[in-house]
Amino acid sequence: IEIEAIAFPAREPGKGRIRFNDTAGSMAKDSVFNAASVLRKITGKDLADYDVHVNVIGGGLIDGPSAGSAVAIAILSAVTARPIRQNIAVTGEISIQGKVKSVGGIMEKIYGARQAGVKTVIIPRENAMDSPPDLRGIQVATVEHIEELFPYVFEDEGSFSVSAG
């Protein structure tokens, strides 16, 4: 599943709106609110100051927390204008503390990503034992916190600066 996000400054600060595809289930939509907390903690930016649209390309159905870390990265990219590498895949529930938590179907997700031409899949560290042992043609990395994803997903090497105020 491919996820994209775009963000614009809200017309009125503090009154931004968030839109997510209707095909996203309630748990997937909750990940947007978790991402908002993580975004504020990492960058100091309040998602309420932006109009954000999160889109699942092709209208794919996502119901469950697996896309949480991908949604958070997409929103973070949109709000901070940092481009994302296109040859990676990310899975994992995102907590309000920024922890990347375990999800189901890891083996299927890795094989699906490889079939789609993805070079690197990042999974929750809690799922490390679920990764197939002898993979060829794809790298699997594990993370525990969203900030560990940054070197894998963002094209630049810069860090996020927290704004005062």
What is the distance between the alpha carbons of residues 14 and 48, in angstroms, rounded to a whole number? 5
Give the pLDDT score at 105.
Answer: 93
pLDDT attached to residue 60: 65
Tell me if residue 66 is catalytic. yes
pLDDT given for residue 55 in this prediction = 87
Q: Is 119 a catalytic residue?
A: no
Domain boundaries, the chain: 3-153
pLDDT for the residue 41: 92
pTM for this prediction: 0.88
Q: Choose the catalytic residue: 31, 45, 66, 99.
A: 66
Active-site entry in 45, 77, 99, 109: 109
Q: Quote the pLDDT of residue 74.
A: 94
- What DSSP designation does 162 have? P
What ranges in the chain are assigned the alpha helix state H? 26-43, 68-80, 106-115, 150-153
Grouped pLDDT means (10 residues each) for the chain, 165 residues? 92 93 71 88 92 83 81 93 93 95 95 93 97 88 96 77 41
DSSP category for residue 99:
B
DSSP 40-70: HHHH---GGGEEEEEEEGGG--B-SSTTHHH
Report the b/e string of 142-161 with b at 16+ CB within 10 A: bbebbeebbebbbeeeeebe
Q: Residue 17 has what pLDDT?
A: 94
Q: With respect to CATH, is domain 3-153 assigned 3.30.230.10?
A: yes
